[in-house]
Amino acid sequence: MKKKITVIGTGYVGLVSAVGLAGIGHEVTAVDNNKTRIKDLKKGWVPFYEPGLKKKMKDALRAGRIHFTSESDLAVQSGEIIFIAVGTPSAAGGKADLSQINAVVDVIIENLESSKIIVIKSTVPPGTTDAIRERMSAELEYTDSDVVFCPEFLREGTAVHDFFHPDRIVIGSDSKQAARIVENVFYPAISRDIPVLNCSPVSAELIKYGSNVMLASRIAVINELAELSEAVGGDICQAAAGIGLDKRIGKDFLKAGPGFGGSCFGKDVAGIIKAGEYHGVNMQLVSTILTTNDSQKMRPARRLETELGSLKGRKVAVLGLAFKADTDDVRGSAAFDVIDYLIENGAQVKAHDPEAEYRFIIEYKKKGYSCCEKKEDALSKADALIILTDWEEYKELEPEKLSQMMRGNTIVDSRNILDHELFSQYGFTCMGTGRRTVSSSVKNRGRNDLLNAAIVSV
């Protein structure tokens, strides 16, 4: 049955959910306290790059099934079900900052005129949903309103696909009736084959945090193995393929790279450590995920420095500023750490990203680097190249063209997306993550030696 749904927060989760729910046929009001964002959304502008979202949003606007507003009081009054999808960033020390959630709960309490179901989509520490429900029961006349935790598992870059094809739907609720209503909100658009797990709110909160911690730990482990693989002359891509063939382990999330980024793994790992501390549990193993990951992020720059001897005076092209491909999100991206290291050690950096350049410039104000609209401009006369994001267009780099554009011949391919043997035939020395360095197979193509001599003689 179609419902009137209010979604509070129009970020990655809120906007994708609002558009997805409207696509299913519900009547959706999406709210944000960022007035500029609401103005843009009303015009059909999507505030971030997410494949497929713009079209789905336009369809929903045209069908009149989605409305945008910054008047949260009216939106709370009109919705039968209220989704909360505001941010839960890290506060100082790593604890989850619930101020955005609390501000929304204030508005709900002030404006609730009948019983509703409140669905929390934001990631919150264990115990938060019960605490909100208790607060609402204490302060509200309509004590039969329900609060449900329905964690979101979408990935940026594939968020629209993930909304319609999730691996599972988790509904954390102590009320069977509320759980059934929330489950029905997602059907019929989502196949009945998708498992629905009904559990308590606190278990659902553990599922969300636990999933992110598990995924983050896999990346941390594969990256440490990659470092060992470099030391012993192995190939982490082959090793990961072999490890992943064990059905108990599985092949996904075993790609070595420049550490994990994004807005959630880091904050959720830190958040669960703090939740552990609060409840007297020392999350010793989980704590190491963050320290390991932080050290991984700088490795591409350090490896380049080792290969070149010094970064001083080198022109380095950095391809990829987004934390992963198919998004313009730069939160937690290794690009910050790598460019920091390069410029602090005397290199001049020209960077490129097909979508994230603008956001990166807003976030990163240091001198010593510039962003180029075309990758060719970043690569022109570069002494070395570092690839940080696995964008499709970087996978298609052609060695011959690259050798004509660049001055030097060193490539740090942190995502292992290039054919290193092929590039070596065009005079490049390629360093992948977790793989042995493949040196130029072209005789007398000692570009780095010539370059070293030129820099030393200056």
> To the nearest 10°, the Cα dihedral for 346, 347, 348, 354?
-140
Residue 10 interacts with, from ligand NAD, ligand UGA, none (CB under 5-8 Å by kind): ligand NAD
Q: Which listed option, ligand NAD, ligand UGA, none, makes contact with residue 212 (CB within 5 to 8 Å by class)?
A: ligand UGA
Binding segment for ligand NAD among 32-40, 53-61, 195-203, 411-419 (CB under 6 A)? Answer: 32-40
Residue 11 binds which entry of ligand NAD, ligand UGA, none, CB below 5-8 Å type-dependent? ligand NAD
Position closest to ligand NAD via CB: 11
State which residue, 112 or 264, has the beta carbon closest to ligand UGA: 264
Output the CA–CA distances (angstroms, integers) from residue 377 to 270, 279, 280, 366, 373, in the order listed.
39, 53, 54, 20, 8
Q: Which residues contact 107 (CB under 8 A, 6 or more apart)?
A: 8, 72, 73, 76
* Beta carbon of residue 341, minimum distance to ligand NAD (angstroms, whole number): 27
147, 139, 128, 71: CA torsion to nearest 10: 70
Whole-number Å distance between alpha carbons of 299 and 434: 11
CA angle 232, 233, 235 (to 5 degrees): 115
Do 143 and 114 meet the contact criterion of CB atoms below 8 Å apart?
no
CB 45, CB 8: distance < 8 Å? no
Known catalytic residue: 237? Answer: no
DSSP letters spanning 24-67: HT-EEEEE-S-HHHHHHHHTT--SS--TTHHHHHHHHHHTT-EE
Q: Are 328 and 322 in contact (CB under 8 A)?
A: yes
Residue span binding ligand NAD (CB under 6 A) among the ranges 26-34, 220-228, 288-296, 366-374: 26-34
Give the span between the Cα atoms of 228 and 222, in whole angstroms.
10
Q: Output the residue with the shortest Cβ distance to ligand UGA.
A: 264
Min dist CB 239 to ligand UGA, Å, is 13
Binding site for ligand UGA (CB under 6 A): 123, 152-156, 212, 215, 219, 253-255, 257, 260-262, 264-265, 323-324
Stretch that binds ligand NAD, among 4-12, 50-58, 387-395, 409-417 (CB under 6 A): 4-12
Q: How far is the CB of 85 from ligand NAD (least distance, A)?
A: 5
Q: Given the residues 264, 371, 372, 430, select the one marked as catalytic.
A: 264
Classify strands 27-31 and 66-69 as parallel, antiparallel or unpaired.
Answer: parallel
Rg of the chain (C-alpha set): 24
**For ligand NAD, how many residues bind (rule: CB under 6 A)?**
27
When asked if residue 14 is in the footprint of ligand NAD (CB under 6 A), the reply is: yes
**Which of ligand UGA, ligand NAD, none interacts with 215 (beta carbon under 5 to 8 A by kind)?**
ligand UGA
In angstroms, the Cα distances linking 218 to 233, 249, 405 are 22, 10, 37
Q: Which of 217, 229, 263, 296 binds ligand NAD (CB under 6 A)?
A: 263
- Residue 436 CB, shortest distance to ligand NAD, in Å, is 35
Min separation Cβ 49 and ligand NAD, Å: 13
> How many residues are there in the chain?
458
- Residues 182-211 interacting with ligand NAD (rule: CB under 6 A): none
The answer to whether 258 touches 338, Cβ cutoff 8 Å, is yes
- Across-strand partners of 283? none
d(CA 419, CA 142): 63
Question: Residue 347 corresponds to which amino acid?
Answer: A
Binding status of residue 103 toward ligand NAD by CB under 6 A: yes
User: Residue 257 binds what, of ligand UGA, ligand NAD, none (CB under 5 to 8 Å, by partner type)?
Assistant: ligand UGA
Distance in Å, CB of 256 to ligand NAD, minimum: 22
From the list ligand NAD, ligand UGA, none, which binds 253 (C-beta under 5 to 8 Å, kind-based)?
ligand UGA
Catalytic residues: 264
By the criterion CB under 6 A, which residues form the site for ligand NAD? 8-14, 31-34, 37, 72, 85-88, 100, 103-104, 122-123, 152, 154, 156, 263-264
